[in-house]
Structure 1
């Protein structure tokens, strides 16, 4: 299902500034599209508008040419959402949570126990969700997003709070869903997740998209001009990244060379976070 977002704006009640400012992009069927930005950049706001949780104030959101304003109950049968902050019924077991939500759909759903097994929660199926750790709740919410065999999946920081092994398993599930033809909208501040999973990424900062391209294209554009310098000053050992085609960064590089003892210096491909810092002057965390 093709997704089109054009000139999207949103302002929360009582605020003087828009949280989302003239955001436009399109997502092809079967694409993993990443929203990369720090907390507060507007990522979740855009996702909430696209899923109908927030009212569309200004702009256009279309699915296969049909406005989200025209979507009825059938729309919610076609999407799955994994929220950044796990919202589960704490007095129900993990299995009961999935069974309850499965009953809300008008379409055939996955076997809850199969999904719990996929995310490593089979042994905790009969345990109250309120007793789950943060990572376990995150996995339960992720499993819930897969219940209705959705055509479009929205994942908001899906690997938050997960150990490396479990995170790797969740990434494999996301990749498999893409192979099955799902369209995936992934919001994250984790540059490694975006780089590894996304076909294209949009950098969002203060409610605006500042660049949009594939991770490879962004690194080809910016990554050949980065220098990593490791230095020593007294008992302090540090390292910095400089972009030699940026006047401010080049000046800082020369100042460092003059003022500190240099241990090593390497040219390197920039990471997405380093590119984000170059474009915005701020980090992703």
Structure 2
């Protein structure tokens, strides 16, 4: 669905590149995470892929279309949810969706059903200017779903949302993925990326450092150990034991045999920890 070869982009149109020779592919039905801190080149890349920024150098195809010569038909196949909500404040939530659906040449979803999907149906006739930041974000999110996109660009889809709504958004993304939608997710939220993505790319200073699945990255960079809390002579104890060291494995077996475990779970590296390990940089 996406193929990028040797992509460069400079806002100053010189050799001060925001994106420097990146290459990657996204296959149909995949959730591909583009992860990095602010200023890493995530939004620049998405801008080129969606036609908001001109292709300066490199080869890019999106949904079967060459970005050098974008076709109107391409925009019937893609949906874009921006991090910064850009809804029309003088229009109601319903009017925003009704207006936007007229821009497509393909069948569109029922706006009221989409509003219900994210809990905005009760404010369907309320002007968007009166919405909170989170409500505007939800409206922008469902607007990107109107044309049932084959390729869905999501820029920080859970930013500024309370945990319950953020979980709901992630469930919607997972459901659409199961239906075969391809998702290009740009974010610095490693927890959301870990939950949603089949593969992730780490980008920093305009360069991709690696591309792999979250599972493979954890296996490669994570430590293999467990944390266990157990009672011994009515005293609560806590141990952190390696699954690679024979002495620790024997101790864990003895604890399990005693049958006084209160809590036990494996520990693995988070995507954020791996990102810092690989790039030497944090996500802020």
TM category, shorter: 0.7 to 0.9
Runs of at least 5 residues in structure 1 that lack an aligned partner in the other structure: 229-265
Residue 261 of structure 1 corresponds to: none
Aligned pairs (5 A) from 1:151-166:
151-166=150-165
Contact residue 31 and residue 183 of structure 1 kept, 8 A: yes
Residue 211 of structure 2 corresponds to: 212
Residue 19 of structure 1 corresponds to: 18
Residue 220 of structure 2 corresponds to: 221
2:68 is equivalent to residue 69 of structure 1 = yes
Q: Distance in 2 between matches of 1:161 and 1:65?
A: 33
Q: Distance in 2 between matches of 1:267 and 1:80?
A: 38
Task: Give the secondary structure class of the aligned counterpart of 2:201.
Answer: strand
Q: Distance in 1 between matches of 2:282 and 2:266?
A: 21
Runs of at least 5 residues in structure 2 that lack an aligned partner in the other structure: 228-264
2:28 is equivalent to residue 29 of structure 1 = yes
Task: Give the secondary structure class of the aligned counterpart of 2:68.
Answer: helix
Contact residue 105 and residue 148 of structure 1 kept, 8 A: yes
Taking structure 1 as the reference length, the TM-score comes to 0.83
Contact residue 224 and residue 267 of structure 1 kept, 8 A: no
Residue 83 of structure 2 corresponds to: 84
Q: Distance in 2 between matches of 1:59 and 1:208?
A: 14
Residue 119 of structure 2 corresponds to: 120
After TM superposition, give the deviation of residue 100 of structure 1 in Å.
Answer: 0.4
Taking structure 2 as the reference length, the TM-score comes to 0.83
- Cα 1:272–1:114 change in 2 (3 A) is same
Contact residue 5 and residue 61 of structure 1 kept, 8 A: yes
CA RMSD of aligned residues (A): 1.9
Q: Distance in 2 between matches of 1:269 and 1:10?
A: 36
After TM superposition, give the deviation of residue 269 of structure 1 in Å.
Answer: 1.5
Residue 10 of structure 1 corresponds to: 9
2:96 is equivalent to residue 97 of structure 1 = yes
Q: Distance in 2 between matches of 1:157 and 1:137?
A: 13
After TM superposition, give the deviation of residue 267 of structure 1 in Å.
Answer: 9.2
Q: Distance in 1 between matches of 2:203 and 2:11?
A: 18
Q: Distance in 1 between matches of 2:193 and 2:43?
A: 16
Q: What do residues 36-70 of structure 1 show as CA deviations (whole Å, max 9, x unaligned)? A: 10011010110010000000000111136541223
- Cα 1:64–1:167 change in 2 (3 A) is closer
Residue 46 of structure 1 corresponds to: 45
Contact residue 7 and residue 19 of structure 2 kept, 8 A: yes
Task: Give the secondary structure class of the aligned counterpart of 1:148.
Answer: coil
Q: What do residues 190-241 of structure 1 show as CA deviations (whole Å, max 9, x unaligned)? A: 010000000000001010000110000011110127999xxxxxxxxxxxxx
After TM superposition, give the deviation of residue 273 of structure 1 in Å.
Answer: 0.6
Residue 180 of structure 1 corresponds to: 179
Q: Distance in 2 between matches of 1:103 and 1:65?
A: 23
Q: Distance in 2 between matches of 1:67 and 1:14?
A: 22
After TM superposition, give the deviation of residue 13 of structure 1 in Å.
Answer: 2.1
Q: Distance in 2 between matches of 1:69 and 1:197?
A: 30
Residue 271 of structure 2 corresponds to: 272
Q: What do residues 124-183 of structure 1 show as CA deviations (whole Å, max 9, x unaligned)? A: 111110111110000000000000111100000000111111111111110111111111
Contact residue 101 and residue 144 of structure 1 kept, 8 A: yes
